[in-house]
Amino acid sequence: MSAAARELTVLSREWCHLCHELVEQIEPLARELGWTLRVVDVDQHPELEARWDELVPVVLAGEVELCHYHLDEAAVRAHCSGFPLESAP
């Protein structure tokens, strides 16, 4: 797996206080675990808004939903710790 696969995505909204709180909480966790964090405003992507609308904020690892509304640190840690390690050449 490439390092690019080690990315968490937060589906967010600019005006959402829960979204801002979740991002503040997950940023240090992502750094600790060595994962990158990407925040996407669903209001800028109609297809994401149609799919996730009322569940925002949502934390995704690829297509896997780890939590929504509030950070589930245990779920994020469990997913990230189970992620396959890269093989040395």
Q: Which CATH number goes with the domain that contains 64?
A: 3.40.30.10
What pLDDT does 75 receive? 94
Answer yes or no: is 18 within a domain. Answer: yes
- Tell me the pLDDT band of 84, cut-offs 50, 70 and 90: low
Residue 55 predicted with pLDDT over 50: yes
Answer yes or no: is 89 within a domain. Answer: no
Burial of 10 (0-12, 13-18, 19+ CB in 10 A): buried
**Tokens 């896997």, located at residue:** 64
CA–CA gap between residue 38 and residue 40 (Å, rounded): 6
- Tell me the pLDDT band of 5, cut-offs 50, 70 and 90: confident
Answer yes or no: is 86 within a domain. Answer: no
Answer yes or no: is 87 within a domain. Answer: no
Residue 22, domain extent: 3-81
Answer yes or no: is 17 within a domain. Answer: yes
Answer yes or no: is 25 within a domain. Answer: yes
Structural contact between residues 8 and 59, judged by C-beta atoms closer than 8 angstroms:
yes
**Cα-trace Rg, the chain:** 13
Provide the number of structural domains found in the chain. Answer: 1
Answer yes or no: is 88 within a domain. Answer: no
Answer yes or no: is 33 within a domain. Answer: yes
CA 3 to chain centre: 15
- Tell me the pLDDT band of 2, cut-offs 50, 70 and 90: very low
CA–CA gap between residue 64 and residue 84 (Å, rounded): 15
